[in-house]
Chains A and B, each alone.
Chain A
Amino acid sequence: MKSRRATHARRASERLRLTVGRALLLAAIVVAWELGARAGVIDPYFVSRPSRLAQTMAGWFAGGFIYRHIWATVQEAVIGLAVGIVGGVLVGMVFAFFPFLSGLFHPLIVVFNATPRIALAPLFIVWLGIGLTSKVAMVVSLVFFIIFFSTYAGLRDVDVNLINHVRVMGGTRRDLMRHVLLPSALTWIFASLRACVGFAVIGAIIGEYLGADRGIGWIVQYGESMFDSNMVIAGLLVLMVFVATLDGSLGWLERRFSHWKQKPL
């Protein structure tokens, strides 16, 4: 008991050291950047400087300029993510249970998945306009395939032993689905979910970058067209915080649903 408490205390102090260390590292980077820009070692025209960025961003939030742009990007990413996930899971399930369909569509899926989605973005804008829909389509085209492949693999790669175990105890197809196949697929889907969030934001930003009237991608693109590196970097910073928040909440969700898994040593 005593030793467990000691281990616990040691872990806590390690965590504290890590947190303090990270904060110091960040502070050092910011200070070096600021001083370097002020001393003229690095050119603030290209890289701005932290105090100006802070000022710009404070202005965006205080003046209310930024909210509609964040909202636009959130909307595109979240709707696209939802459609991509639901579509990927459904199609993955259908293909896993109907091998003929899977064989029929396999070449098509491979070709689509191999197509660089960035090249599709201008087409989406031509087809669907510069509004929300074209960005959602962009996000879906990225997320769908990741989830589709995970669902398919999760359903096909189930240990036959587990299936037989549940069949022998009297399990019906529905029981197999509920107790074996879906939980197995879910672990695969969760494993790819975080990658999907990253891709969803990339999809939304690329869409905005190529043709939009709002969104964080639009801010960055607008800043570039004005040669305003301050605006570009401030836009990117907003984006970073946004993605980190999303990723963090997904990590939390993932831990909640995979508590049965063995932790890597």
Chain B
Amino acid sequence: MITVERVTQTFETPAGEFTAVRDVSFRVSAGRFVSLVGPSGCGKTTLLGMIAGLLPVSAGRIVLGDRPVSGGVPPDIGYLFQRDALLPWKTALQNVALPLTIRGRPAGETRARAVEWLRRVGLAGFESYYPHQLSGGMRKRVSLATTLIYGPSVLLMDEPFSALDVQTRNLMENELLELWAETRNTVLFITHDLEEAIALSDEVIVLTAGPGRVKASYPIPLPRPRNVIEIRFREEFTRLYEQIWKDLRDEVQASYARATRL
């Protein structure tokens, strides 16, 4: 479970104090898939960074399970970054194995599990490839396997598929849902794409234009298992989309107006 309580993040900048997120509170129950949507610059990534313990919180409190996040990275979380974060000097296999390697697992077990995870993300046979030899979608799969191999109970995802082409992206979204159906981690997924958020999630939280605050939260009562492409044709999907978009539109316009004024 992720609990975010009245969290604020301010940065010192040359132009003075800058508030990235203000007074944000929400909760993700264990085993739920929740998306945060908001216009660019609303502090989505900042929020994720704070939950992962990579950024200190200026005010408020974050609790994972029953442990408050303070002074470092909490154990048992996974983070899928927007940009590739694979180590370029390690092969696909070595990258996937790294979380087990740093946990000091025996080499044989580590190797076997890494091979198995590469197979599960559809990359059997690519064990000895280096990241630069793989396509963007393949690198994403390796990243996903690297994040899932150690079974973190909380999974943070920062627009992980935004750099992929639409077809690859839909495939990856379906694969993510299939894997998640088995692992059932608590997922907090960030995106600026409302369709993606609705198709994947149990709940969608809309953030305001920066400084980000929670504007509204919508449960997504669509049945699972889902196919992210076909689910878009359902009437409920369209209805939910229209409903949430009304909220989001104002924020996108506010964000755009601010960006163009600068």
Do B83 and A161 touch across chains, with their CB atoms under 8 A apart?
Answer: yes
Do A165 and B79 touch across chains, with their CB atoms under 8 A apart?
Answer: yes
Q: Which chain B residues (213-254) contact chain A, with CB distance < 8 Å?
A: none
Do B85 and A179 touch across chains, with their CB atoms under 8 A apart?
Answer: no
Cβ distance B151 to chain A, nearest Cβ, rounded Å: 12
Flag A154-188 by CB within 8 Å of B: 1 or 0 each: 00000101101111111110010001100100010
- Chain B interface mostly helix, strand, loop or mixed? loop
Do A170 and B103 touch across chains, with their CB atoms under 8 A apart?
Answer: yes
**Does B119 lie at the interface of the complex (its beta carbon under 8 Å from any beta carbon of A)?**
no
Do A261 and B81 touch across chains, with their CB atoms under 8 A apart?
Answer: no
A187 CA / B130 CA spacing, docked (Å): 15
On chain A, which size bracket covers the interface? 20 to 34
Knowing A169-B102, A171-B102, A179-B102, the reply to whether A187 touches B79 (Cβ < 8 A) is no
Nearest to B131 among chain A residues (CB) is: A260
Knowing A161-B81, A260-B130, A262-B132, the reply to whether A168 touches B87 (Cβ < 8 A) is no
Partner of B98, one of A166, A187, A262: A166
Partner of B90, one of A159, A172, A175, A260: A260
- Chain A interface mostly helix, strand, loop or mixed? helix
Do A168 and B77 touch across chains, with their CB atoms under 8 A apart?
Answer: yes
Q: Which residues of chain A have C-beta atoms less than 8 A from B146's C-beta?
A: 169
Q: Which residues of chain B have C-beta atoms less than 8 A from A161's C-beta?
A: 81, 83-85
Q: Which residues of chain A have C-beta atoms less than 8 A from B78's C-beta?
A: 168-169
**Does B180 lie at the interface of the complex (its beta carbon under 8 Å from any beta carbon of A)?**
no
Most buried by B among A165, A171, A172, A183: A165
Flag B32-55 by CB within 8 Å of A: 1 or 0 each: 000000000000000000001010
Q: Which residues of A contact B (CB under 8 A)?
A: 159, 161-162, 164-172, 175, 179-180, 183, 187, 259-262
Closest 7 CB pairs of A and B: A165-B85, A262-B132, A168-B79, A169-B99, A260-B130, A175-B102, A183-B89
Using A159-B85, A170-B150 as known contacts, list a sample of 12 further A-B pairs with CB atoms less than 8 Å apart, ordered by residue number in A.
Answer: A161-B84, A165-B86, A168-B54, A168-B77, A169-B98, A169-B102, A169-B146, A169-B150, A171-B102, A179-B87, A260-B132, A261-B132
* 11 A-B contact pairs sorted by A residue (CB < 8 Å): A164-B52, A164-B81, A164-B85, A165-B79, A169-B98, A170-B73, A170-B75, A170-B150, A183-B87, A260-B130, A260-B132
